[in-house]
Amino acid sequence: MQAHASEDRLTGRWNGVGLIQNTAVSLPSLIDFEFKRNSEGKLVAIDLTKPKAGEFLVAVSGNTFSFTTEFPVSPQRKARAEVSGTLADDEQTIKISVGAYGLSGKIEDVRVATLSHNNAAAKAFMYPRVGDNGEPVLTYAYRKPIDQTNTFTTVTPEQAGLDRTKLEAMVNTILRQTAESKTESVLILRNGKLVMAEYFWGHGSDDAHQTWSVVKSISAIVAGIAWDQNKFNLDATFASYFPQYRATKWAKENLAISVRQVLSMASGAYIPSPITISTAADFIQAMLDQPLVHPPGMTYAYDNGLPSLAGQLVAKTTGKPFDQFAEQYLLQPLGIKKQRWTYFADGTPNGAGAFFITPLDFARIGQMMLDKGVWQGKRIVSEAWIKESTQQQTAKGDYPYGFYWHLNTESYEHFKGATAFMARGALGQTITVLPDENMVVVVTSTNAKYDAFLSDYIVPAIIR
């Protein structure tokens, strides 16, 4: 009976805003759990931010409790977290810690929060937008953005040659979203000026966002800077840069996989699971030991290991760790002062995902790409590299793909009405560059389909 009494004090819905510890960037997120008894009378927790994940058995001892959450993020991978907390003596608040396992197999993110019933701060993360009265905002009228970083001049849609009503219609669509499909930011630039910067679901301009695979495209830019420094040849055999791995399949079997093919997802090698490569004792060896399944250069196959392998090429040929090289030659020159890297088990920087910067930083990268490698009058990467990386590198008739940049073409349309090259990340992240329209579009999301925004609202907003 005592155990049941202790557990019953936890029942109900508890929420608050969690902050990831030990990081320079701001990463707030909603923590929202419901505790209840299941059909067998056992105390379980439901993560209301992922209600389809199911119920998790809770262990309780006095005022403290713990449980493990798990939910699929891909057919090959499940996300796990260890949750522990303490109920205050007055039973009004819970101090909670959520430790999420990363690809390294270790706990990488630890979020802490104070939860309560009907937490006021948490409410901003439960709706697309909440007004000063605490109620959801259901309508939107355009407002000129304010860039507190003074990175971009701001203009109205009319000044940028865009239809205000279509942009308003897009935001009003976002305001009707549910938690199943959340758009957290939309930024639009035209002619180098910021036309729109709207944030939703509790996120603000200072908050970093998970890039997911958008960082693949950033990794390609970093590789381009090393290429500009004559550190490697695009058509050289990739394994030739790693003589210490001469016992691996790529080297021992003289597999003719070039740097170009690694950068264009056309290596032809077997694709290992993300867990296999991220937890390997030696990431490079694990990648270079993959057998050939297609002739190199003939088949596009999306391989999450290749961008990090390209990052290790940068590190090997420049003598500087990939993350440090990226910060020195790309991020800092763009004015990106805070970022968060994650690492594989052997310390390899993840160049394919789990990188965090702000949406405005996404926009800096997109504008630099639009301006052919120049940022505020300073050359960051060569125009030759921009041309190489944003033209089709895959075989004719295959998926149009550059060097970790997706291409929107007449033969393959992600969205209608404009040609573009795009950094695309899982759950709805993008830097979309429309060169003919002199535009950059940034969207960060959780499960939102940003291509529809481009097809239905943003491209039609262009006054031609």
Q: Which pLDDT tens digit goes with each residue over 56-94?
A: 999 999 999 999 999 887 666 788 999 999 999 999 999
Tokens of 223: 């590789």
352 shares a domain with 246: yes
Beta partners for 79?
Answer: 71
Tell which of 123, 143, 164 closes a domain: 123
246 shares a domain with 345: yes
311 shares a domain with 214: yes
- Give the pLDDT confidence score for residue 443 in this predicted structure: 98
186 domain residue, yes or no: no
- Give the pLDDT confidence score for residue 102 in this predicted structure: 86
Q: Are 291 and 249 in contact (CB under 8 A)?
A: yes
Q: Are 294 and 301 in contact (CB under 8 A)?
A: yes
Which of 146, 122, 389, 432 is closest to 259 using CA atoms? 389
Tell me the pLDDT tens digit for each residue of 375-422.
Answer: 999 999 999 999 999 999 999 999 999 999 999 999 999 999 999 999
26 domain residue, yes or no: yes
Divide the 464 residues of the chain into consecutive groups of 10 and give the mean pLDDT of each group. 70 96 93 96 94 90 95 77 96 96 87 95 96 94 94 98 98 94 96 98 96 97 98 98 97 97 98 92 98 97 97 98 98 97 95 96 98 98 98 97 97 95 96 98 91 97 94
225's enclosing H/E stretch is helix 214-228
Q: What's the number of CA atoms in the CB half-sphere (13 Å) around residue 213? A: 18
Tell which of 404, 427, 453 closes a domain: 404
179 domain residue, yes or no: no
252 shares a domain with 115: no
- Characterize the bridge pairing of strands 420-425 and 406-408: antiparallel
232 shares a domain with 113: no
Whole-angstrom distance, CA of residue 32 vs CA of residue 47: 6
Tell which of 355, 379, 404 closes a domain: 404
Whole-angstrom distance, CA of residue 460 vs CA of residue 394: 30
Residue 335 is part of which domain span? Answer: 209-404
181 domain residue, yes or no: no
Domain with residue 106: its CATH number is 2.40.128
Q: Are 79 and 101 in contact (CB under 8 A)?
A: yes
Whole-angstrom distance, CA of residue 408 vs CA of residue 50: 32
Helix extents (H) in 229-358: 249-252, 259-263, 274-278, 283-288, 306-318, 322-326
Tell me the torsion sign for CA atoms 192, 198, 203, 209. negative
219 shares a domain with 85: no
Tell me the pLDDT tens digit for each residue of 159-208.
Answer: 999 999 999 999 999 999 998 889 999 999 999 999 999 999 999 999 99
- Give the pLDDT confidence score for residue 29 in this predicted structure: 95
151 domain residue, yes or no: no
312 domain residue, yes or no: yes
Whole-angstrom distance, CA of residue 360 vs CA of residue 369: 14
Q: What is the DSSP letter of 349?
A: B
113 domain residue, yes or no: yes
413 domain residue, yes or no: no
Beta partners for 154?
Answer: 194
111 shares a domain with 224: no
Q: Are 355 and 211 in contact (CB under 8 A)?
A: yes
Considering its fold, how many domains does the chain have in total? 2
222 shares a domain with 365: yes
Tokens of 120: 């006021």
- Give me the phi and psi of 292, to 5 degrees please: -80, 135
- Give the pLDDT confidence score for residue 1 in this predicted structure: 39
- Give the pLDDT confidence score for residue 76 in this predicted structure: 67
For 206-266, strand residue ranges (E) read 209-210
- Give the pLDDT confidence score for residue 298 in this predicted structure: 96
Domain with residue 279: its CATH number is 3.40.710.10
110 shares a domain with 241: no
249 shares a domain with 100: no
Q: Are 208 and 215 in contact (CB under 8 A)?
A: no
Whole-angstrom distance, CA of residue 362 vs CA of residue 186: 11
